[in-house]
Structure 1
Amino acid sequence: RDNIIGICGEFFGTVLFLLFAFAGTQTAYLHSPPVENRVGAPANTSTLLYIALSFGFSLAVSAGIFFRISGGLFNPAVTFGLVLVRAMPPIRGALLVVVQLVGGIVAAALVSALLPGPLTVGTSLGGGTSVARGLFIEMFLTSFLLLTVFFLAIERQRATFIAPVGFGLALFVAMLAGAYFTGASLNPARSFGPCVVMGNFQGYHWIYWVGPGLGSIASAGFYKLMKLLGYETANVGQHGPEIEMAASTV
């Protein structure tokens, strides 16, 4: 029963998050096409800011709604990271990945049906970014998001209740940094859904899977290292009472 509730929550949460994020992106590109993939291609910073705000705020609100139902993940890379640090059983993780991918398709289809004009919410390389660079940009951006999830949501601390806000801010900052170069996916479901609806997969579409996957592995490794070193005792006042009590005996 709990798994069914969590899976349903994750599906509807993913649809809600990406529906409004995609709608914001579609609106932003009405009079400003996506960045061309050539060196020196002009960047419309107001458009990129509009898109980053759409994704960041949509994630913060959607994660806040579904945080106590499914965790408010909405991202296969985040789910993979939680499985790596053993915060989620692999079977549950696999089920969530499936519904997240389906949710991405449904959200893209809804935006395509509701809003006029061709769908322009896909991710693509821009500004002359090579495939190799795009891969590592996606890796580092995803690592940033995953570290936010690990240290705000998994760890019991005083700031855990505002974790969804942290998720949204992390995505907002990551998109400001990377949207011009790769579209700042950080989320296979976010890139996969529009490709399915548009029927167009770029030859480098794989970087939006491998990059976030590598980011999950890197951030999980750093998190496990910090746990191994006992980071909880470094700044005791910021942790929950159980951790503070344990640290006081060291």
Structure 2
Amino acid sequence: MAPPPIALGDAENAINGPPVENENSNSTVLLIQKLTAEVIGTFFVVFAGCGAVAVNKIDGQVTFPGICIVWGLIVMVMVYTVGHISGAHFNPAVTITFTALKRFPPKEMAMYIIAQLFGAIVASGSLYLLLDPKPAHFYGTVPSGSCLQSLFIEIIITFLLMFVISGVATDTRAIGDFAGVAVGSTILLNVFVAGPVSGASMNPARSIAPALVMNNYKGIWVYIMGPVVGALVGGFAYNLVRHTERPLQEIVKTPSFLKHLSK
């Protein structure tokens, strides 16, 4: 029995590949997967981290070092879980910086930020329903001193976070397998240092979501401006030291080594 004749359209597909509609469909599915991963990842980062803060304020069982460890561990775990799907931003400041550095498509930036805010708000709302916290148990971030002090602390620690992320996640010379450990450890250290001062947000979504759920907006602008500025400066700073065409030992022997470092 002879095989059925191949239609003209089928022949074109066999030669030229699937139609553009299929490519667009695949791109849409991939984007949905990325956004879903960002929602889930941000949900668990906020649920675990803010949950540790809330539980500690309610019954004091977690302790401050415990809170620091929870933040570091949950970020590390989620980076390894969905980092290969969405890039594991979980943070509007990181998404904005990657976009500014042309390492992330601008058309996806707004959707990523919405996904992150949605995941954070759902997590904060879940904690509110499960734990029934009082105003004194606020698990958001508020300045312990002046807003200006917290602003500069947030800029500095987010600079460090973005500098580390840029190194381990975007530089092919780095050991990528340890990206989650490096990022999680940086967050743990930052919370240890800055937690008592500003709450160590480093993430606008982490601060905005509890503020919306518990109606506490004290110093909220600090936790929007600080992380964004710190991440942008940190990302651009790493770009300044990223590319060198010659070994450092050779560069420093020349009188124009600063010129070579800028290449």
> TM-score surpassing 0.5?
yes
> Which structure 2 residues correspond to residues 196-207 of structure 1 after superposition, within 5 A?
196-202=212-218, 204-207=219-222
How far the C-alpha of 1:156 sits from its partner, in A, is: 1.7
1:5 and 2:33 correspond:
yes
Which residue of structure 1 lines up, in the alignment, with residue 255 of structure 2? none
How far the C-alpha of 1:121 sits from its partner, in A, is: 0.9
> Which structure 2 residues correspond to residues 13-32 of structure 1 after superposition, within 5 A?
13-32=41-60
How far the C-alpha of 1:147 sits from its partner, in A, is: 0.8
How far the C-alpha of 1:144 sits from its partner, in A, is: 0.6
1:122 and 2:140 correspond:
yes
**Post-superposition CA distance 1:65-114 (Å, at most 9, x none):** 01101111100111111112111011212211111111111110111112
Which ranges in structure 1 are unaligned for 5 or more consecutive residues? 33-45, 236-250
1:81 and 2:81 correspond:
no
| Contact 2:138-2:214 within 8 A present in 1 as well | no
Range 215-224 or range 178-187, more displaced: 215-224
How far the C-alpha of 1:233 sits from its partner, in A, is: 4.9
The equivalent position to 1:226 in structure 2, one of 241, 245, 249, is 241
Which residue of structure 2 lines up, in the alignment, with residue 38 of structure 1? none
1:58 and 2:74 correspond:
yes
Q: Secondary structure at the match of 1:87?
A: coil
How far the C-alpha of 1:47 sits from its partner, in A, is: 2.7
Identity level (%): 28
Q: Secondary structure at the match of 2:225?
A: helix
Q: Secondary structure at the match of 1:69?
A: helix
* Higher RCO, 1 vs 2 (CA within 8 Å, ≥6 residues apart): 1
> Which structure 2 residues correspond to residues 84-233 of structure 1 after superposition, within 5 A?
84-118=100-134, 119-126=137-144, 129-202=145-218, 204-227=219-242, 230-231=243-244, 233=246
TM-score, with normalisation over the residues of structure 1?
A: 0.82
For 2:38 and 2:90, locate their aligned partners in 1 and report how far apart those are by CA, in whole Å: 6
Q: Specify the structure having the higher radius of gyration (Cα).
A: 2
For 1:166 and 1:232, locate their aligned partners in 2 and report how far apart those are by CA, in whole Å: 26
Range 214-223 or range 190-199, more displaced: 214-223
How far the C-alpha of 1:224 sits from its partner, in A, is: 2.1
TM-score, with normalisation over the residues of structure 2?
A: 0.78
Range 21-30 or range 208-217, more displaced: 21-30
For 2:233 and 2:161, locate their aligned partners in 1 and report how far apart those are by CA, in whole Å: 12
Q: Which has the higher helix share?
A: 2
Range 47-56 or range 70-79, more displaced: 47-56
How far the C-alpha of 1:20 sits from its partner, in A, is: 1.2
For 2:160 and 2:220, locate their aligned partners in 1 and report how far apart those are by CA, in whole Å: 21
For 1:130 and 1:98, locate their aligned partners in 2 and report how far apart those are by CA, in whole Å: 30
Counterpart residue identity of residue 141, structure 2: T
Q: Which runs of 4+ in 1 moved over 6 A?
A: none
Range 139-148 or range 84-93, more displaced: 84-93
